[in-house]
Structure 1
Amino acid sequence: MRGTRDVRANCQIFRLTGLLDAFSEPTFRKVMNKFVEEGPRNIILDLSAIDFVDSSGLGALVQLVKKAKTEGGSVQVVTNARVTQTVKLVRLEQFLSLRDSVDDAIAAVE
């Protein structure tokens, strides 16, 4: 997995590519926890270019949402059809605050 980070006044935007799976999950979790603690605590994850999310990746997303909420922030997840299908399969679409675009996610944070 690869990605970029864009820090705004009230949020951090992460644009990720590749796979969010058992292999990349430990690094993803460690890096994201660090950035949530540094702030801003509102996180926008652009997963629209992600090819695959497995159960480990979903678990990392759930933990990220819990961490951000504990710190007083939120997580918005921008998805593609494949990621949305995986998330809906386990009925996490509301919990993960799925958005259609980064602009929608930014509007939700503001």
Structure 2
Amino acid sequence: MTTIEVDEDEHGSWTVFRVQGELDLVTSPLIRRRVHDAVAGGRHDLVIDLSAVRFCDSSGVGVLIASRRLLRSCGGRLRLILPEEERDGHVGRVLSALGVRRLFDVYEDVPEAIAGVTGVPGRSAP
């Protein structure tokens, strides 16, 4: 059975989703709904922590891309958490293989993402 858990925290203007489990065809609608609910609630700066995601398929990547597009359309920002040791893990390999890793601002952890710290290895340009 495919499972996913999403914890949500507020850090100033940033909403942080900590995702754990599998991001796939079955679970990606939950992430899409959570992102849409955040935007509808006026929260346009979003961090998605993927460090505990053990599997991601093209549906999961599609939700990340759609989230990026939605947030950009309303002047918001999307930042991903993918620690360096995980960048060559499953999620990092999927993002790279599909050629979309460069679309995202990738950070080591939540404090760096919220602060917008630059110079993190593997981080794409804003």
The TM-score, its normalising length taken from structure 1, stands at 0.91
* Structure 2: stretches of 5+ with no match in the other structure: 118-126
Distance between the aligned counterparts of 2:11 and 2:115, measured in 1? 13
Q: CA deviation at 1:83?
A: 1.2
Q: CA deviation at 1:64?
A: 0.3
Match of 1:108 in 2: 116
Q: How many equivalent residue pairs?
A: 109
User: Could you list the runs of 4 or more consecutive aligned residues of structure 1 that deviate by over 6 angstroms after TM superposition?
Assistant: none
- The structure showing larger relative contact order (alpha-carbon pairs under 8 Å, at least 6 residues apart) is 1
Question: Identity percentage over the alignment?
Answer: 27
Q: Give the stretch that moved more between structures: 31-40 or 13-22.
A: 31-40
Q: CA deviation at 1:103?
A: 2.0
RMSD of aligned C-alpha atoms? Answer: 1.4
Q: Give the stretch that moved more between structures: 20-29 or 93-102.
A: 93-102
Distance between the aligned counterparts of 2:113 and 2:93, measured in 1? 19
3-state SS in 2 of match to 1:27: helix
3-state SS in 2 of match to 1:40: coil
Q: CA deviation at 1:30?
A: 1.5
Give the counterpart letter for 2:60 in structure 1: G
**Equivalent residue in structure 2 for 1:91, among 96, 99, 102:** 99
Q: CA deviation at 1:39?
A: 3.0
Q: Give the stretch that moved more between structures: 93-102 or 70-79.
A: 93-102
* Structure 1: stretches of 5+ with no match in the other structure: none
The TM-score, its normalising length taken from structure 2, stands at 0.80
Match of 2:122 in 1: none
Distance between the aligned counterparts of 1:64 and 1:91, measured in 2? 17
Q: CA deviation at 1:106?
A: 1.1
